[in-house]
A and B are shown apart, each in its own frame.
Chain A
C-alpha cells in the first residue's frame, strides 16, 4: 500500500537553483527517509529524520518534517547537473512490521 507521495512528480531546474521536493504520508511514523535513484537501478540512502526531529542537514541537503501535517520536504541547495535523479521518500509505520514503504518518486532534472 502507498504511504509516501512525492510532489511534484517531476521538476526541471537550472544548475545553481534550489530544488524542493515534498512528501506526504498517511499514518504515524517512527522515521522518514529520503533516497535517490540514478538510471532506474539501485537506490542510495540520503538522509533519515526521526519523528521527534523537525529539521536535519547533510551537506547541500536540508530535510524538514511536520508530523502534524504528515509531510516532509527535501531541499537541495545550489543544484548541480549530477543531482539529476529520481528521489523517493520512505516511511515506516508505528506498530507495523517495521518495513519501509516507498513513494512513487520524483524525477529531478538539473539542466547545465
Chain B
C-alpha cells in the first residue's frame, strides 16, 4: 500500500511485559515520528527520526521507552516492563522533507495507530 502502516493494530499485554510496535513509513520519506495519544487527549510527541541525523528523543517519557529506525525505513518502538499508564494509542507518522524558501513545510502522513492495553 501507499500509506503508513502500523502493526499490530491492537495489543493487549500484562503489566511488566515488553512490547514492540512496528511502523512502516511511506517509501522515500526521510522523517519518521512516534506519538502517543491517551483516551480523549492530544498527541504527545515521543521521538523523531530525520535521515541519518541523531534522533530527537526528547519526548520519551522514561528509559523504558526506546525506538530504532533500521535502514532509514521501518521503525520499532519498544516499551519495556509495561505499566498500566502506558495504555494508549501509539501513532506513527512519516514525511518527506520539503522546503519552501528554506523553511520546512512537511506534511505528516499518519498510520492507523496501535492501541496498546496494559492489564
- Give the B-binding residues of A (Cβ under 8 A): 2, 30-31, 33, 35, 40-45, 48, 50-51, 88, 90, 92, 97-105
CB contacts (< 8 Å) of A44 on chain B: these are 110
B65 CB–A CB distance under 8 Å: no
Given known pairs A48-B107, A98-B104, A101-B45, the reply for A42 and B91 (CB within 8 Å) is yes
Whether A48 and B105, one on each chain, are in contact in the complex, defined by CB atoms closer than 8 angstroms, is: yes
Interface size on B, residues (CB 8 A): 28
Beyond A2-B42, A99-B33, 9 additional contacts (C-beta under 8 Å) are A30-B105, A35-B108, A43-B91, A43-B93, A50-B100, A97-B56, A101-B45, A102-B42, A102-B43
List the interface of chain B (C-beta within 8 A of A): 4, 33, 35, 37, 39, 41-43, 45, 48, 50, 56, 58, 89, 91, 93, 100, 103-113
